[in-house]
């Protein structure tokens, strides 16, 4: 049989594309070698959020006195936290499987690789089985980057060094964790393991943590994490993995960060090796598939979506890219835009942003003005964050009076940032936004407050 669409990879891009295409009546084959749901469901977004939620409850109880709450004999059972994580993952993977059945998607549980063109389109090998389809969607995702650091390969083999995959399943949490890379993955795990009692040191190559986020919010977050005992070594170049820790150079000196476990989290690379994309001439740049804004590759009949494009490696970006790709296959006009994609660091407090920061707006030469507010201007924030010092910023295009960006360091920031994303995506003016009613009291009201403070 010839499928209308073969999808390589069953993560957020792949399974959502399968769902949408199947629903639209296309006959879809989905090839996935591991578990449906990909990194996001099995070893990324969802598992880390279950861990971080347990840590948040534990931290809340430990620091309950300022809210009039006290507890004795408080404990966190890491093994139980991991068991619950497994249960949540199993439920969600089950949900994806059910969606595949509901949309008549044939799932091939095998490693897939493109073999070349066939009379009716493309030939893919799913394990030993040949699958033929008219169209191809490459959604093979990404894997942790492993740089050529002396001792790293051996460390990964022995288990002393873990990536975000292995660290999720540790039965015994580390006592002394060294995290290489202070980006999203590094900070979320640093936050969890320090909450449950580990000594955590983050070794970061740059002069700051948390990537391209607003530096002022990042420095507040860093101070918060430091207060909780996390140590940051910035401008530190890792030179080797040793038996008892990580060797790095800082300010011309060689130092050793002692550790009983190391987490490697220095970015991810697109999974294109071994996918057979060269057999049909798909153009790659630095190992990632190049697409246009309809998610088309250079080869007619081949689309790509998700981390494999090497760009905006986020599950929610992958969802949208998958939808754009499927709409394009169906002849429905749709284009991928990246202006209003929220980014969230699920630390406690959360750091969420969408659109431009002051820095990126200035770099692009945009005519902008920023409003900066303490989160304490929100009654609900004050009620729930004793001593909290979060801030938020609203960036407005002075000429058009439209919102360019918002960032916030606050509880619930992950939930309310989409409000600002909607304003940006819809191109609403401040005058239009002023007429929108927010529920009171909510932390989200800070957005409305900032809009009214803009003069």
Identify which of residues 39 and 324 has a Cβ nearer to ligand NAI in the complex: 39
Exposed (0-12), middle (13-18) or buried (19+): which is 67, by Cβ within 10 Å?
A: exposed
By the rule CB under 6 A, 146 interacts with ligand NAI? no
By the rule CB under 6 A, 206 interacts with ligand NAI? yes
By the rule CB under 6 A, 265 interacts with ligand NAI? yes
By the rule CB under 6 A, 12 interacts with ligand NAI? no
Exposed (0-12), middle (13-18) or buried (19+): which is 331, by Cβ within 10 Å?
A: exposed
Query: Which residue spans within 139-189 are E strands per DSSP?
Result: 142-144, 161-162, 176-180
- Does residue 391 sit in helix, strand or coil? strand
Stretch that binds ligand NAI, among 51-59, 205-213, 249-257, 352-360 (CB under 6 A): 205-213
Stretch that binds ligand NAI, among 12-20, 97-105, 181-189, 288-296 (CB under 6 A): 181-189
Q: What angle do CA 107, 119, 279 make, to 5 degrees?
A: 70
By the rule CB under 6 A, 310 interacts with ligand NAI? no
Residue 208 is among the residues annotated as catalytic for this protein: no
Task: Using CB under 6 A, count the residues that bind ligand NAI.
Answer: 24
By the rule CB under 6 A, 268 interacts with ligand NAI? yes
Give min distance, CB of 5 to ligand NAI, in A.
27
By the rule CB under 6 A, 354 interacts with ligand NAI? no
Stretch that binds ligand NAI, among 20-28, 125-133, 175-183, 217-225 (CB under 6 A): 175-183
Give min distance, CB of 78 to ligand NAI, in A.
20
Backbone angles phi, psi at 36, to 5 degrees: -55, 145
Q: Which of residues 42-81 bind ligand NAI (CB under 6 A)?
A: none
Q: Strand 402-410 to strand 350-355: parallel, antiparallel, or no bridges (unpaired)?
A: antiparallel
Contact 35, 44 (CB under 8 A): no
By the rule CB under 6 A, 178 interacts with ligand NAI? no
Q: Strand 368-374 to strand 268-270: parallel, antiparallel, or no bridges (unpaired)?
A: unpaired
By the rule CB under 6 A, 185 interacts with ligand NAI? yes
Neighbours of 57 (CB within 10 A): 12
Sorted by sequence, the CB contacts under 8 Å of residue 151 that are 6+ apart come out as 240, 241, 242
* CB-closest chain residue to ligand NAI: 183
Among 9, 182, 310, 355, binds ligand NAI (CB under 6 A): 182
H-run or E-run covering 94:
helix 78-102
Q: Which of residues 213-252 bind ligand NAI (CB under 6 A)?
A: 238
By the rule CB under 6 A, 267 interacts with ligand NAI? yes
Which pair of tokens denotes residue 194? 């320090």
Identify which of residues 314 and 447 has a Cβ nearer to ligand NAI in the complex: 314
By the rule CB under 6 A, 327 interacts with ligand NAI? no
Identify which of residues 197 and 211 has a Cβ nearer to ligand NAI in the complex: 211
Among 9, 133, 141, 183, binds ligand NAI (CB under 6 A): 183
Contact 398, 386 (CB under 8 A): no
Q: Report which DSSP code applies to 429.
A: B
Sorted by sequence, the CB contacts under 8 Å of residue 195 that are 6+ apart come out as 55, 56, 58, 59, 76, 228, 348
Stretch that binds ligand NAI, among 265-273, 333-341, 378-386, 446-454 (CB under 6 A): 265-273
H-run or E-run covering 246:
strand 245-250
- Positions touching ligand NAI (CB under 6 A) are 147, 180-186, 188, 203-206, 211, 238, 265-268, 313-314, 344-346
**Active site positions, annotated:** 440
């Amino acid at each position: 049989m010839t499928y209308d669409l073969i999808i390589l990879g069953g993560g957020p891009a792949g399974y959502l594309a399968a769902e949408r295409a199947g629903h639209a009546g296309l006959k879809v084959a989905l090839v996935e070698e591991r578990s449906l749901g990909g990194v996001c469901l099995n070893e990324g977004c969802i598992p880390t959020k279950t861990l971080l939620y347990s840590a948040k409850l534990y931290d809340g109880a430990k620091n309950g006195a300022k809210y009039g709450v006290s507890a004795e004999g408080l404990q966190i059972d890491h093994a139980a936290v991991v068991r619950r994580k497994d249960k949540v993952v199993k439920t969600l993977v089950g949900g994806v499987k059910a969606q595949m059945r509901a949309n008549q998607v044939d799932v091939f549980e095998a490693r897939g690789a493109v073999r070349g063109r066939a009379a009716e389109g493309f030939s893919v090998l799913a394990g030993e089985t040949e699958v033929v389809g008219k169209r191809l969607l490459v959604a093979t995702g990404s894997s942790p980057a492993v740089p050529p650091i002396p001792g790293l390969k051996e460390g990964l083999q022995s288990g002393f060094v873990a990536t975000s995959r292995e660290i999720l399943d540790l039965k015994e949490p580390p006592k002394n964790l060294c995290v290489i890379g202070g980006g999203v993955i590094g900070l979320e795990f640093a936050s969890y393991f320090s909450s449950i009692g580990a000594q955590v040191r983050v070794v970061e190559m740059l002069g700051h943590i948390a990537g391209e986020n607003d530096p002022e919010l990042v420095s507040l977050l860093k101070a918060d994490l430091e207060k909780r005992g996390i140590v940051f070594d910035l401008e530190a170049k890792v030179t080797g993995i040793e038996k008892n820790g990580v060797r790095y150079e800082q300010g011309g000196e060689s130092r050793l960060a002692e550790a009983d476990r190391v987490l490697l989290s220095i970015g991810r690379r697109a999974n294109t090796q071994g996918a057979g994309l060269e057999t049909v001439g798909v153009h790659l740049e630095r190992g990632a598939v190049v697409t246009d804004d309809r998610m088309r590759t250079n080869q007619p009949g081949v689309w790509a979506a998700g981390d494999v494009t090497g760009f905006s490696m986020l599950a929610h970006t992958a969802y949208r890219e998958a939808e754009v790709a499927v709409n394009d296959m169906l002849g429905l006009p749709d284009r991928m835009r990246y202006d209003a994609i929220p980014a969230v660091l699920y630390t406690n407090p959360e750091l969420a942003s969408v659109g431009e920061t002051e820095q990126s707006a200035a770099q692009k030469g945009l005519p902008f003005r920023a409003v900066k507010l303490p989160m304490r201007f929100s009654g609900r924030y004050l009620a729930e964050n004793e001593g909290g010092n979060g801030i938020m910023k609203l960036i407005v295009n002075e000429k058009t009076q439209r919102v360019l960006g918002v960032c916030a360091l606050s509880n619930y920031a992950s939930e309310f940032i989409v409000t600002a994303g909607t304003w940006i995506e819809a191109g609403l003016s401040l005058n239009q936004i002023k007429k929108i009613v927010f529920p009171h009291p909510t932390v989200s009201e800070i957005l409305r407050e900032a809009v009214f403070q803009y003069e």
